[in-house]
């Protein structure tokens, strides 16, 4: 269970902290070359051989990540300073033998990717994802942990983390699971905080920002963050009981990081290269909305398949369409309710994910549960061999998001008294507050209880355990939203093209059954001419394709592997939909839309 006895951890006294601890220290003297030096001390070691490991996975990520590759200069000593023998039984592990019950290990870490999975050390900050930074001892993961960050005073660094503060730059975690789930930003950051009352308790929401912008920009952005927090609290009716009373946004908008967002139990790590200036607030804020929603959904409303999280292997879950997908549905919805985007913007944006899921051939192969099972291959996973994702995979973020939309509108159409917010409250009270992990069948059972016998079963049989599509046209019409195909008179190829300097290449696998697929075109082909019209004279792809019509059969000349080839292609009609507010909708539908999108 993700709640792993935090009530007890909050009662820990100074004397009980003095029990056998695992102690870490990390320093950054060579930050300019992206190196950190880590030392760890393990006392009262009962095993003759102490097994030290680097994680191969990270909380919130579901693929393998080989953090051990950036660890070197490993040395181990006993309590008297005697050098110990270190061997490598596999690439991820170091075995230490000959100790006297104490093992002190040191190593150098190279870290230069600032995102939610990896760590980055440079002269601007130490951005630490704990699994990418610290070894752990197999068999000793239940011990409490004390970690000291030797910050660079010359760089005016400070520590921000969800770890419990002890003194100075020393922090505490009740066990390895919590430690590994505690990203840390060390930099000359700015901070804002506000208090939120919930269930008779005061919770502090901290917003830590490492950026190059102004304090005024931060103030404006923080006002948006506060609105998001309050609107998301209204979905569930209360805040989670944060373990040490605080929740912390660890945000880094710097040119040296990679864009990412990663949820954690009492914090989130958010990175991006866009500053808050020149539209950056609007472009960055969606990740804030998504990650904070996770403090309920996935951090506490926890899939059984992710418990306990295994740091030695990949973690697969068939519930990600709900954990990530329903969170994605609420990400933009909350922005609308908070007044950060307009109703018109929100409605217009719905079309993108609907088109992606609706028109994907991948639904012929996998349902949402099975798409979720693919996370180890796609969630920031690394591979060099080509894949056929255009035809076999739909992101569980998007798939779950459009199903969250369908469920919300379907519930609102039952009797006017049901909606997804209230269903999420039930899931929260049943599984989130209690710390009981759930399964897909548990969600189906709760939906039947909430919406009536048969409703949940039908929804899950059609859309979760199968790949049917809800009737979005009627669902959206019920809230005064038009769902139309407005471009059916435009020629459609069924493939993505990359057009540059008069040359045009097929840049994706063709969609199965589409015009390019049926014509035998493939990724990497260079298109020379269509119907004897050369691409070299075109300004862009859209302008070039506007010469043709759906149903028209043309000759295509292309190059593949250095050879010029020819094929016949019949254009299809653009299958994409648009979403827009129906200005002619009846008052009933308009009122339902306002009830759905208005602030809570």
Residue 11's CATH number: 2.60.40.3650
- What's the whole-model pTM score? 0.95
Q: Distance of CA 473 to CAs 354, 409, 489, 566, 578, Å? A: 11, 11, 20, 40, 11
State the pLDDT at residue 383: 83
Of 329, 321, 328, which Cα lies nearest the Cα of 303?
321
Q: Does 30 fall in a domain?
A: yes
Residue 319 Cα distances to 154, 310, 438, 439, 470, angstroms? 46, 17, 9, 7, 19
pLDDT at 598: 96
Q: What is the model's pLDDT at position 214?
A: 97
Do residues 433 and 529 share a domain? no
**Which strands make up the sheet holding 49-53, listed edge to edge?**
85-90, 93-97, 49-53, 136-137
Cα–Cα distance list, 389 to 155, 160, 393, 508 (Å): 45, 38, 5, 9
Both structure tokens of 324: 């990530």
The structure tokens 């920002």 sit at 209
**Structural domain includes residue 395:** yes
Instruction: Say what the pLDDT of residue 5 is.
Output: 42
Region 102-112 average pLDDT:
99
Hey, which bits of 361-493 come out as E strands?
Answer: 481-484, 491-492
pLDDT computed for residue 1 by the predictor = 45
Predicted local distance difference test score (pLDDT) of residue 502: 81
Supply angle C-alpha 283, 286, 290, rounded to 5: 160
Looking at the structure of the chain, the number of domains it has is 4
* Nearest-angstrom CA–CA distance, 582 and 580: 6
Q: Is residue 293 part of a domain?
A: no
Of 462, 403, 420, 465, the residue nearest 440 (C-alpha): 465
| Residue 304 falls inside a structural domain | no
In this structure, the answer to whether residues 23 and 133 fall within a common structural domain is yes
Q: What is the CATH number of the domain that holds 249?
A: 3.30.2010.30
Per-residue pLDDT band at 539 (split at 50, 70, 90): confident
Distance CA 364, CA 488 (A): 23
Mean pLDDT of the chain: 96
pLDDT for the residue 96? 99
Same domain? For 67 and 112 the reply is yes
Q: What is the mean pLDDT of residues 54-71?
A: 97
Q: How far is CA 584 from CA 480, 580, 587, 588, in A?
A: 8, 11, 9, 11
Same domain, 182 and 224: no
Residue 8 has pLDDT above 70, yes or no: no
Whether 539 and 500 have beta carbons less than 8 Å apart is answered as no
φ/ψ (deg, to 5) at 119 = -115, 155
Neighbours of 118 (CB within 10 A): 22
Q: Look at residue 2 and tell me whether its pLDDT is greater than 50.
A: no
Question: For residue 28, is pLDDT > 50?
Answer: yes
Task: Give yes or no: residues 342 and 444 share one domain.
Answer: yes
Distances (CA, A) of 234 to 238, 309, 338, 398: 7, 29, 11, 23
Nearest to 239 by CA among 286, 192, 208, 197: 197
Inside any domain, residue 48: yes
Contact between residue 162 and residue 248 where contact means Cβ atoms under 8 Å apart = yes
21, 162: one domain: yes
The full length of the chain comes to 600
State the residue for tokens 């809800």: 470
Q: Are residues 97 and 149 in the same domain?
A: yes
CB contact set of 461 (below 8 Å; sequence gap of 6+): none
Instruction: Give the Cβ contact number of residue 7 at 10 Å.
Output: 9
Q: Work out the burial of residue 197: count CB atoms within 10 Å of its CB; fewer than 13 is exposed, 13-18 middle, 19 or more buried.
A: exposed
pLDDT on residue 381: 82
Whether residue 376 sits in one domain with residue 352:
yes
Q: Does 100 reside within a domain?
A: yes
- By percentage, how much of the chain surpasses pLDDT 70? 97
Residue 16 has pLDDT above 80, yes or no: no
Give me the pLDDT at residue 415, please: 87
Residues 274 and 409 in one domain: no
CATH of residue 328's domain is 1.10.390.10
Which of these three, 240, 265, 284, is where a domain ends? 284
Dump the DSSP string for 35-77: EEEEEEEE-S--SSEEEEE--S--TT--S---GGGGEEEEEEE
| 263: β partners | 268
Asked if 227 contacts 187 with a C-beta cutoff of 8 angstroms, the reply is no
* Residue 6: pLDDT band with limits 50, 70, 90: very low
| Domain housing 92 | 6-187
Rounded mean pLDDT, 407-422: 96
Summarised one tens digit per residue, pLDDT across range 557-596 is 999 999 999 999 999 999 999 999 999 999 999 999 999 9
Shared domain check, 377 and 266: no
- Same domain? For 391 and 458 the reply is yes
Q: What pLDDT score does 380 carry? A: 82
Q: Indicate the pLDDT class of residue 501, thresholds 50, 70 and 90.
A: confident
Provide the pLDDT for residue 524.
98
CB 94 within 8 A of CB 101: no
325 occurs within a structural domain: yes
pLDDT digit string, tens, across residues 334-366: 999 999 999 999 999 999 999 999 999 999 999
Examine residue 453 and state whether it is found in any structural domain, yes or no.
yes
For residues 198 and 233, the answer to whether their CB atoms sit within 8 Å is yes
- Does 484 have pLDDT greater than 80? yes
**Domain final residue, candidates 154, 187, 220:** 187
Q: Are 162 and 299 contacting, i.e. CB atoms less than 8 angstroms apart?
A: no
Place 7 in a pLDDT band, splitting at 50, 70 and 90: very low
Cα-based distances in Å from 14 to 6, 11, 222, 243, 534: 16, 10, 35, 18, 77
Q: How far apart are CA 313 and CA 265, in angstroms?
A: 21
pLDDT value of residue 81: 98
- 473 and 549 together in one domain: no
Task: Yes or no: say if 328 and 350 are a contact pair by the CB < 8 Å rule.
Answer: no
> What pLDDT score does 19 carry?
76
Residue where one domain finishes, among candidates 229, 256, 284: 284
CATH code of 498's domain: 2.30.42.10
pLDDT tens for 163-199 read: 999 999 999 999 999 999 999 999 999 999 999 999 9
């Amino acid at each position: 269970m993700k709640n792993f006895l935090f009530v007890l951890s909050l009662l820990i006294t100074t004397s009980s902290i003095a029990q056998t601890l695992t102690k870490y220290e990390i320093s950054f003297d060579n930050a300019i070359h992206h190196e950190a030096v880590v030392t760890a001390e393990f006392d009262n070691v009962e095993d003759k051989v102490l097994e030290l490991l680097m994680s191969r996975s990270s909380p919130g990520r579901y693929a393998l990540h080989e953090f051990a590759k950036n660890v070197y200069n490993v040395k181990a000593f006993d309590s008297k300073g005697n050098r110990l023998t270190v061997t490598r039984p596999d690439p991820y592990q170091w075995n230490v033998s000959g100790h006297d019950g104490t093992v002190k290990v040191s190593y150098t870490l190279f870290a230069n990717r600032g995102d939610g999975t990896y760590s980055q050390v440079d002269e601007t900050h130490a951005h630490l994802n704990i699994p990418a930074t610290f070894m752990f001892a197999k068999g000793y993961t239940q011990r409490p942990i004390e970690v000291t960050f030797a910050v660079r005073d010359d760089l005016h660094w400070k520590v921000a983390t969800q770890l419990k503060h002890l003194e100075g730059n020393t922090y505490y975690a009740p066990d390895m699971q919590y430690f590994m789930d505690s990203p840390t930003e060390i930099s000359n950051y700015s901070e804002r905080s506000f208090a939120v009352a919930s269930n008779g308790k005061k919770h502090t929401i901290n917003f830590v920002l490492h950026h190059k912008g102004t304090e005024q920009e931060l103030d404006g952005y923080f006002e948006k963050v506060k609105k998001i927090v309050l609107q998301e609290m209204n979905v569930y009716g209360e805040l989670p009981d944060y373990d040490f009373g605080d929740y912390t946004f660890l945000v880094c908008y710097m040119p040296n990081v990679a864009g990412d967002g990663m949820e954690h139990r009492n914090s989130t790590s958010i990175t991006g290269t866009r500053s808050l200036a020149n539209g950056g607030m609007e472009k960055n804020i969606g990740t804030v909305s998504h990650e904070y929603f996770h403090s309920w959904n996935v951090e506490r409303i926890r899939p059984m398949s992710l418990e306990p999280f295994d740091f030695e292997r990949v973690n697969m879950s068939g519930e990600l369409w709900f954990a990530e997908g329903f969170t994605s549905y609420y990400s933009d919805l909350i922005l609308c309710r908070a007044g950060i985007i307009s109703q018109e913007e929100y409605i217009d944006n719905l079309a993108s994910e609907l088109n992606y899921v609706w028109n994907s051939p991948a639904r012929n192969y996998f349902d949402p549960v099975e798409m979720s099972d693919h996370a180890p291959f796609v969630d920031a996973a690394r591979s060099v061999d080509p894949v056929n994702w255009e035809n076999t995979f739909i992101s569980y973020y998007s798939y779950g998001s459009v199903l969250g939309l369908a469920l919300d509108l379907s519930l609102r159409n039952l009797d006017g008294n049901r909606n997804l917010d209230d269903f999420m409250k039930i899931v929260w009270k049943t599984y989130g507050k209690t710390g009981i992990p759930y399964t897909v069948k548990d969600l189906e059972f709760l939906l039947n209880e909430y919406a009536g016998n048969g409703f949940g079963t039908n929804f899950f049989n059609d859309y979760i355990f199968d790949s049917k599509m809800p009737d979005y046209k009627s669902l959206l019409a019920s809230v005064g939203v038009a769902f139309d195909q407005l471009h059916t008179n435009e020629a459609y190829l069924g493939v993505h093209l990359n057009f540059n300097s008069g040359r045009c290449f097929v840049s994706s696998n063709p969609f199965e059954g589409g015009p390019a697929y049926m014509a035998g075109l493939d990724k990497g082909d260079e298109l020379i001419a269509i119907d004897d019209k050369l691409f070299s004279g075109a300004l862009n792809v859209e302008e070039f394709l506007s010469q043709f019509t759906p149903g028209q059969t043309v000759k295509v000349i292309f190059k593949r592997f250095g050879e010029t080839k020819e094929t016949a292609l019949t254009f299809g009609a653009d299958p994409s939909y648009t979403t827009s507010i129906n200005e002619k909708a009846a008052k009933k539908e308009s009122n339902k839309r306002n009830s759905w999108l208005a602030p809570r």
